[in-house]
Chains A and B, each alone.
Chain A
Amino acid sequence: MSVFLQQLINGFFIGSVYGLFAIGYTLVFGVLDILNLAHAAIFTLGGLSALWLTTTAGLPGWIAFPLATLFSGVLGLLLYRVAFAPLRRRADSNLSGLISSIAMAIVFESCALGIFGARTVRFPEGMFQNRVYHFQSITITSLQLEIVAVALGLMIVLSALLKYSRTGKAIRAVAESENTARLLGINVEWIVSQTFFVSSALGGAAGILYGLYFDALAPDMGRSIELKGLAVIILGGMGSIPGAILGGIAFGLSEVLTVELTGMSNLRDAVAFTVLLLILILKPSGLLGRGRARQA
Chain B
Amino acid sequence: MSGENHVKKTAVFLALILGLTGMCSRASASPKVAKIGFALSMTGAAAAYGETQKNGSRLAIDEINARAGQEGIKITPVFEDDASQPQQGVNVFNRLLFADKVVIIIGPTLSNTAQVADRIAQGAGAPVLGISNTAKGITDIGDYIFRDSLTEMQVIPNTIRVVEKRFGIKKVALLYGNDDAFTKGGYDAFKKALGDSHIQILTEQSFAKGDRDFSAQLTEIRSLQPDALVVSALVEEASGIVSQARQLGIPASVPIIGGNGFNSPSLIKNAGKASENVIVGAAWNESSSNPLNQGFVRAYTAKFGAPPDQFAAQAYAAVYIVLDALKRAGSTDNRKALREALTRVGGLDTVLGKFSFTKGRDADYAPVVETVKDGAFTVFGQ
State whether A117 touches B45 (Cβ < 8 A): no
Query: Is B270 positioned at the interface, with any CB of A under 8 Å from its CB?
Result: yes
B51 within 8 A of A: yes
Interface presence of A156 (CB below 8 A): no
Asked if A3 is at the interface (CB within 8 A of a chain B CB), the reply is yes
Contact at A121–B269, with CB atoms within 8 Å?
A: yes
> Which of A78-86, A188-196, A210-218, A286-294 contacts the other chain?
A210-218
Per the bound structure, the CA–CA distance linking A213 and B293 in Å amounts to 37
Judge whether B213 is part of the interface by a CB distance below 8 angstroms: yes
* Closest-CB distance, A237 to chain B (whole angstroms): 25
Q: Name B208's contact: one of A118, A215, A219, A265 (CB within 8 Å).
A: A265
Q: CB-CB contacts of B15-56 with A at 8 A, as 1s and 0s?
A: 000000000000000000000000000110101101100000
In the assembled complex, the Cα of A256 lies from the Cα of B51 at a distance in Å of 33
**Which of A169-177, A178-186, A220-228 lies at the interface?**
A220-228
Contact at B270–A113, with CB atoms within 8 Å?
Answer: no
Which stretch, B89-97, B217-225, B323-331, touches the partner chain A?
B217-225
Residues on A with beta carbons closer than 8 Å to the beta carbon of B270 = 120-122, 215-216
How far, in angstroms, from A214 to B239 measured CA to CA in the complex?
9
Majority secondary structure, B binding face: helix
Whether the pair B219, A264 counts as a contact (CB closer than 8 A) is no
CB pair B48 A265 closer than 8 Å: no
Select one of B45, B206, B239, B244 contacting A266, CB under 8 A: B206
Which of B48, B206, B219 makes the CB contact (< 8 A) with A6?
B219
Count B interface residues, CB 8 Å. 41
Q: Are A215 and B272 closer than 8 Å at their CB atoms?
A: yes
State in angstroms the CA–CA spacing of A264 and B266 once bound together. 26
Name the B residues within 8 Å of A255 (CB-CB): 213, 216
Question: A7 near B240 (CB under 8 angstroms)?
Answer: no
- Let me know if A295 is at the binding interface, CB within 8 A: no
With A119-B266, A134-B249 known to touch, is A3 a contact of B223 (CB < 8 Å)?
yes
Q: Are B210 and A215 in contact (CB under 8 A)?
A: no
Q: Is A260 an interface residue (CB 8 A)?
A: yes
Q: Are A216 and B240 in contact (CB under 8 A)?
A: yes
> Of A113, A137, A141, which contacts B247 at CB under 8 A?
A141
CB B358 to nearest CB in A, in angstroms, measures 32
* Pick from B48, B244, B273: contact of A118, CB under 8 Å: B48
Instruction: Check A118–B47 contact: CB distance below 8 A.
Output: yes
Q: Which of B206, B214, B247 contacts A264 (CB under 8 A)?
A: B206
Chain A stretch 250-296: residues in CB contact (< 8 A) with chain B? 255-257, 259-260, 263-266, 269
For the complex, count residues of A whose C-beta is within 8 A of B: 41
Return chain A residues, CB-CB under 8 Å to B213: 10, 14, 214, 255-256
In the complex where A122-B270, A215-B240 touch, is A263 in contact with B219 (Cβ < 8 A)?
Answer: no
Do residues B239 and A7 form an inter-chain contact, with CB atoms below 8 A?
no
**Chain A residue with Cβ nearest B264:** A119
Interchain CB contact under 8 A, B272 and A125: yes
- A132 within 8 A of partner (CB): yes
Query: What 1/0 mask marks residues of chain A from 107 to 143 whose CB sits below 8 Å from any chain B CB?
Result: 0000001000111111001000010101001010100
B residues within 8 A CB of A122? 239, 269-270, 272
A260 to B272, CA, bound (A): 27
Query: Which of A7, A10, A130, A255 has the most chain B CB within a 10 Å cutoff?
Result: A10
- 15 A-B interface contacts by CB (under 8 A): A7-B219, A10-B213, A118-B48, A120-B48, A120-B236, A121-B266, A132-B247, A141-B247, A215-B243, A216-B239, A216-B270, A224-B212, A265-B208, A266-B179, A269-B208
Identify the B interface with A (CB < 8 A). Answer: 42-43, 45, 47-48, 50-51, 178-179, 203-208, 210-217, 219-220, 223, 235-236, 239-240, 243-244, 247-249, 266, 269-273
A residues engaging B (CB < 8 A)?
A: 2-3, 6-7, 10-11, 14, 113, 117-122, 125, 130, 132, 134, 137, 139, 141, 210, 214-216, 218-221, 223-224, 255-257, 259-260, 263-266, 269
